């Protein structure tokens, strides 16, 4: 099971929302790269939270920043840093994988928020704070998708 960059772009508000219409059309990977360099804006965060309703505290942890900083970034002219934008892409990639398996936003949100036996009883959202943890969650989702139970 793999996730397309287009699915990540959609989760963050769509190509148009991310500025694709201002540039020549290109691969979604390039759009994500460019947006990560300049920093996703508050609207991309809003689009993401609409699909995965998490608290501001949880979102701040996922992006490895403080709640106060996140609040400033969600303002009208705020932008995430490149590091925070990369973290958002990492989390969106795992959420997109979970969506393939679980089908609904509510199912994804519930699964990511609960302890999972296949993750040694850890909560996926907590693991998704790092690249290594996100990779482990993605591996479990792939195993479950192929019917390999933990």
Contact 87, 62 (CB under 8 A): yes
Closest by CA to 78, choosing from 47, 49, 38, is 38
- Would you say residue 98 lies in a domain? yes
Tally of domains within the chain: 1
Q: How much of the chain exceeds pLDDT 70, in percent? A: 95
What pLDDT is recorded for position 26?
Answer: 66
Give tens-digit pLDDT for 69-102: 998 888 777 899 999 999 999 999 999 999 999 9
Domain that holds residue 89: 5-145
* Top-confidence residue, 112 or 20: 112
100 domain-assigned: yes
Residue 51, pLDDT score: 86
Rounded Cα–Cα distance for residues 21 and 2 (Å): 26
Tokens 């993750």 sit on residue: 119
| Whether the Cβ atoms of residue 18 and residue 44 lie closer than 8 Å to each other | yes
pLDDT for res 20 = 61
150 inside domain:
no
């Amino acid at each position: 099971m793999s996730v397309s960059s287009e699915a990540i772009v959609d989760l963050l508000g769509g190509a148009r929302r991310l500025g694709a219409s201002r540039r020549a059309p290109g691969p979604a990977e390039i759009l994500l790269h460019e947006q990560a360099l300049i920093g996703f804006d508050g609207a991309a965060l809003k689009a993401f939270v609409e699909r995965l309703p998490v608290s501001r505290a949880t979102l701040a942890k996922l992006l490895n920043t403080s709640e106060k900083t996140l609040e400033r970034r969600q303002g009208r002219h705020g932008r995430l840093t490149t590091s925070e934008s990369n973290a958002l892409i990492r989390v969106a990639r795992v959420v997109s994988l979970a969506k393939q398996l679980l089908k609904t936003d509510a199912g994804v949100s519930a699964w990511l928020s609960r302890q999972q036996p296949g993750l040694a009883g850890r909560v996926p959202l907590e693991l998704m704070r790092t690249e290594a943890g996100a990779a482990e969650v993605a591996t479990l989702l792939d195993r479950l998708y192929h019917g390999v139970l933990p």
